Structure 1
Amino acid sequence: MSASAPASADVLIVIPCLNEEANLSRLLDHFLADAPSAEIVVADGGSTDRSHAIVRDFQHRHPNLPLIDNPRRIQSAGVNLAVTTMGRGRKWLLRVDAHCDYPAGYMAGLLDSAARHEASSVVVPMITTGRDCFQRACASAQNSLIGTGGSPHRHIGEGRFVDHGHHALMRIDLFLAVGGYRENQSHNEDAELDLRLQAAGARIWLEPRQAIVYHPRKTPLALLRQYFRYGDGRARTMRLHGTKLKARQALPLLVPIALAMLLLAPFHPLFALPALGWASICLFYGLLIGLKARSHCVAASGVAAMLMHLGWGAGYLYQQFRPRPSDRRLPALVLR
């Protein structure tokens, strides 16, 4: 670690969760060992599984492990609540996603990057891996060009300053000053916050050495629903700030339109060509990935990509028919 890097005692680690009994023990074991002097807070959004019991069990051994209730349920509200109630005296917020695995030395590496690059925020790439067959298909799609269009924070590349990445470390004073996460936005709240952070002069560094591993949804319906919410959240962010989509983000908007055109196919077969062309490209690309990986599960990545495209495009278009959000700026958050 560089000599000027902040100490881990300056860090507030926040784990927002909702029904994460499958992941909480692993996460708490990791960060209690990896960052023993940091403050770790679990913000629970009303879990009905054993999440509360798991944290209570850890508290017997680590009495300084706070568990706070998040009545708003969603992660954005949980992180805001944790920072305003537990952030006094801390300089950095480290947000932890319960669906991810983290490398050893994660927090120390982020603090070192922040010091070396004089960054206000350090974000990381997210690499997807699956355990069962459908998850492996999802992972291959999400790690590929056809699934995420070459998004920088979905692949391990060179470290650089970026507009957005998977949230990891950020300065608490700046987080509070711009109003924190938007609590009525359950998805794409990270990218929306990044826009406000940059408007306030923040520098966001993408650190590839601290890439994390994400485990995708386990069923096609869950994946479709997730990407619908992603699309809806991105559209809300775009409408709030008047920004434009990149080409890789705009292409999925054509998918719901192409599928709707199938209704006209009985009148002329040309109306079926857009949907057939899209499906053929996805399925062929998936087969190529599957052949390269020698896996029939990975060969289904084209199907997973189709669900991602459809969900994202439908969610984005759905948001266009909703009332336009007007609360572009948020009041500063205040420590309690």
Structure 2
Amino acid sequence: MQEHASAQPGSDTWIGKSIAVATRHPLGVGDAKYRWATSAGYADTVAFGLYAKSTFDKLGLYNEELLVNEDYEMNARLRASGGRIWINPEIRSTYYSRPDLRSLARQYFTYGFYKFRMLKKYPQTLRWRQALPPLFVFGILMLLLLSVFWWFARVVFLSVAAAYLFILIAGCSQEAFKQKSPELLFGIPLAIMTMHFSWGGGFWWSAITGFKKGNHVG
């Protein structure tokens, strides 16, 4: 069973509030149900989960070599053994998000970095929400490189960037108006962009450099 994590601002600033919204917004976390689910049901993973002791007796403890993603790795083992994960939003817990963009970027870079390491052992656990940031970062970098030599690549890059910004602003506008905070219309997209590019960048940095035992990027 899973506690529904309610994200609260890590600082009482407009960017702190924006980050809290971004970490529970579908554009920021995709189909991660434990962030935004409003009804009970099965999910692929949870955070702050409640497990029977027999689960650890059967599967072993958390993988301490993973500084992050250790809960996802545990849940991957649970599903592989035939278990299922149930989320119940009526059980509440409070999660305090990062207070500023710098700490948010570091957090999501670390997530992406260790996600690549985990996928080397469990490639079948990759979800579309996790594949999009690395693919997007790779595509943007390739377009930037090609735009130096090819005018059409510049057109495509500008078109993709404009579409991306439009989707973020349009998708986050409802929350900004709901909270009657115009600054969130700028802050939430900025936080989501930070999450996307940091996660994707961390993923590729892990792929390029490889993982050496004892590395700590978090």
Matches within 5 A, 1:240-279: 240-260=121-141, 261-267=143-149, 268=151, 269-273=154-158, 274-279=160-165
Matches within 5 A, 1:187-206: 187-206=68-87
Match of 2:169 among 283, 303, 309: 283
Deviation at 1:160, TM superposition (A): 2.2
What's the % identity of the aligned pairs? 27
Which string of whole-angstrom CA distances, capped at 9 and with x for unpartnered residues, describes residues 61-81 of structure 1?
A: xxxxxxxxxxxxxxxxxxxxx
Match of 1:145 among 21, 26, 33: 26
Alpha-carbon distance in 1 for matches of 2:183, 2:139: 27
Which structure has more relative contact order (CA 8 Å, sep 6+)? It is 2
Q: Structure 2 stretches of 5 or more lacking a match?
A: 213-218
| Consecutive aligned runs of 4 or more in structure 1 exceeding 6 Å deviation | none
Match of 1:304 among 176, 191, 216: 191
Instruction: Give yes or no for the alignment of 1:231 onto 2:112.
Output: yes
User: Is the CA contact 1:136–1:297 (under 8 Å) kept in the aligned structure 2?
Assistant: no
Change (3 A) 1:179 1:276: same
Which string of whole-angstrom CA distances, capped at 9 and with x for unpartnered residues, describes residues 24-80 of structure 1?
A: xxxxxxxxxxxxxxxxxxxxxxxxxxxxxxxxxxxxxxxxxxxxxxxxxxxxxxxxx
Matches within 5 A, 1:136-215: 136-215=17-96
Deviation at 1:258, TM superposition (A): 4.0
Which string of whole-angstrom CA distances, capped at 9 and with x for unpartnered residues, describes residues 150-209 of structure 1?
A: 321111322223331113311223214322111110111101011112333434221211
Structure 1 length normalisation: TM-score?
Answer: 0.55
User: Is the CA contact 1:262–1:271 (under 8 Å) kept in the aligned structure 2?
Assistant: no
Structure 2 length normalisation: TM-score?
Answer: 0.81
Change (3 A) 1:211 1:234: farther
For these two proteins, the number of residue pairs brought into alignment is 204
Give the CA RMSD over aligned residues.
Answer: 2.3
Change (3 A) 1:323 1:254: closer
**Number of the residue aligned with 1:319:** 206
Larger of the two Rg values belongs to structure: 1
